[in-house]
Amino acid sequence: MGLSTATSAVSEAIKLCVFDSRRGQQEGQELDKILFFYPADLPFTKQLYIIGLSEGLITFTRTFSPEAACEVIEAEKHSHVFFEAEPDIWMVLVVEKNKEVLATWRMDALQKLLKEIHSLFLMFHGPIRLLLEKEPTGEVSRSHLYSFIMDYLSDFLVGKKLQLPSFVDCLKERGTVHMLTIGRDAAIEVQALVRTLDSCIENASCRSLILFQDLLVSTSLSPEDTTNLFSYAVLRLTPSVLSSSASSWSYLLRGNTVSHVTQHGGNVGNRVIRPLQHGKWSKGKNGFLETDIWGMEASGRVNSTPKIWPFQTEKQMYLYVHHHKSLTLILLVPASSIPNGEQGISIIRQYFLENASLKIMTVEEKLSKGWGGENAYHVGGYRYLLIDGDRQISRASPPGKVTTLTKESLLAMSKLREKIDLEKSRAKQDGVVEEKEVEVTIRAKNNAWVISRITRRKELYMVLEKANETVLYASDMVEKFSNRYCNGAFSLD
């Protein structure tokens, strides 16, 4: 099946483009602006229409709001969500509003999706601007963006349709990390393990990330890098992803990307790395994961070691992933301090065997014992989302429990979040985000309580169905929850 047939089968209800407004400024060269467009087979006139409109409004809104240009265009049939990924490099997502139940979006959630795409892209490929500077025709950037974003979007394919996060996902927060709560003695073991991992190469600052199932256990990376690597791990690296990916990954990009690159007249010799490609990681020797995403060593026999660019270090680092049962250990080693390929991995393997194996086993045991199962964080009677903005951490009711809510309650929550998002963004622009305190308790038409509390960058969203009708009762519920699960962060004195 060819690529173009695959994409044309996808409806035009969702469009996503990346463009550089510094390019193609001469008349007739506008196509040069386009770095990515989905669906790729949309006629160029239509592609240029979206980009023309976006650029027009960016320029227009800058007249009044020079510090923050166009973020959303809301039209009767479409919403356009903007994200300025890098200076003058814009990502615009156009979603169609139709009668379909799920077509109610929260703008901030869509913007976070664009942001996630870009953050992950940065981690693997570096800034788009840099790629464009290195190779001014833009072909390399285009082929990288194409495969990367298409691989990313494939996760949202339901049948032949892209299904982006909608109001039903109002009790989730993209771009945050989900933590595992661990006991004191497990914490000590974890700490010891982290120390061991981080000092695996002498005189080199190594970093590590430990996950138990889909939850973060520990990190020695900055919050931003943690978020990105955590997102990537949950998307492609955890044991559950590995076991399921073999069967379920979509057909969206089954075709060879090379065909696309040649379509665009691209540089075939410049190999396109597709870190988000499905089914490319597999468990190899001694629990280490292997992939050919980064190509082969010169010898042609061994896979190249995966490389990423964390923000924090700004140095290229090798990525090693190790599985032990439900545990995923991610180790970042400065590329300058270890050889690529087989030689490097054998050093790490040796080190693990000698210094870490036992600790890994102990940690896994302790965590497994304390693990309460997938509904571990369910709190009876509550459907909630808790966000710690400082640490980019969130915790929420298990998805299975959230689905028990009615559509009306979810819509009400989604709309409340939309309002709160706006208030937060205004506070951010005023530089008073730290002080932002707000408490909203709404009794919706269907008698559900829809609640939001913001205090010192901590956010709590809550839906209570089948609850008593007084505001005081709802406040009481929040108070109890806050005292019990949030160390009283949302309690009133």
Partner 1 sequence: MSSGLSSLSSSDELDNFNPRTLPTTPPKPLEEELASLALTLPRPELLSDQEDVNVVSDGSAAVGFGFGIQRSDEESRAGVVCEENVVGNSAAAVVEGATGNSVWEGIDGTGVMWGRTNSEIEVDRPVSPSSSGYAGERGSSGASSGRSEMDGIADDEIQELNDDEIQELNDDDSVGDNSNSVHSWVPGKRHGDEDDASISWRKRKKHFFVLSHSGKPIYSRYGDEHKLAGFSASLQAIISFVEDGGDRVKWVRAGKHLVVFLVKGPIYLVCISCTEEPYESLRGQLELIYGQMILILTKSVNRCFERNPKFDMTSLLGGTDVVFSSLIHSFGWNPATFLHAYTCLPLAYGTRQAAGAILQDVADSGILFAILMCKHKVISLVGAQKASLHPDDMLLLANFVMSSESFRTSESFSPICLPRYNPMAFLYAYVHYFDANTYFMLLTTNSDSFYHLKECRIRIETVLLKSNVLSEVQRSMLDGGMHVEDVPVDSLPRYRTISPHLGQQRVPSEFTERFKESSAGMGGPGGLWHFIYRSIYLDQYVASEFSSPISSRQQQKRLYRAYQNIYDSMHDKEIGPHKTQFRRDENYVLLCWVTQDFELYAAFDPLADKAMAIKICNRVCQWIKDVENEVFLLGASPFSW
Using an 8 Å Cβ cutoff, are 219 and 226 in contact?
A: yes
The Cα–Cα gap between 142 and 260 comes to 10
Among 137, 270, 343, 429, binds partner 1 (CB under 8 A): 429
> What is the amino acid identity at position 119?
S
Angle, in degrees to the nearest 10, between helices 139-153 and 107-125: 130
- Does 87 bind partner 1 (CB under 8 A)? Our answer is no
User: What is d(CA 440, CA 438) in angstroms, rounded to the nearest whole number?
Assistant: 7
d(CA 41, CA 176): 34
Among 5, 25, 65, 346, binds partner 1 (CB under 8 A): 65
Residue 426: both structure tokens together: 């205004």
Which of 441, 458, 478, 486 binds partner 1 (CB under 8 A)? It is 441
Among 62, 271, 315, 484, binds partner 1 (CB under 8 A): 62
Question: Using CA atoms, how far apart are residues 29 and 53, in angstroms rounded to an integer?
Answer: 16
**Lookup result for tokens 């379909």:** 100
Find, among 216, 209, 137, 147, the residue nearest to 176 by Cα.
216
70 interacts with partner 1 by CB under 8 A: yes
Q: Smallest Cα–Cα separation from 95: which of 144, 43, 45, 153?
A: 153
- Closest to partner 1 by CB, 52 or 295: 52
Q: Does 408 bind partner 1 (CB under 8 A)?
A: yes
Q: Does residue 151 touch partner 1 according to CB under 8 A? A: no
Answer for which of 76, 202, 314, 354 binds partner 1 (CB under 8 A) is 76
> Can residue 69 be called a binding residue for partner 1 (CB under 8 A)?
yes
**456 lies in the site for partner 1, by CB under 8 A:** no
The smaller minimum CB distance to partner 1, of residues 77 and 184, is found at 77
Please return the burial class of 487, using the count of CB atoms within 10 Å of its CB with bins 0-12, 13-18 and 19+. Answer: exposed
Residue of 259, 471, 483, 488 that binds partner 1 (CB under 8 A): 471
Residue 386 token pair: 């808790």
Minimum distance, C-beta of residue 298 to partner 1, in the bound complex (Å):
50
Contact pick of 42, 73, 258, 293 for partner 1 (by CB under 8 A): 73
By CB under 8 A, what part of segment 23-52 binds partner 1? 49, 52
Q: Is 369 exposed, middle or buried (0-12, 13-18, 19+ CB in 10 A)?
A: exposed
Site for partner 1 in 367-406 (CB under 8 A): none
Q: Point out which residues bind partner 1 (CB under 8 A).
A: 49, 52-53, 56-57, 60-65, 67-78, 104, 408, 411-412, 415-416, 419, 425-426, 429, 435, 437-445, 447, 470-472, 475
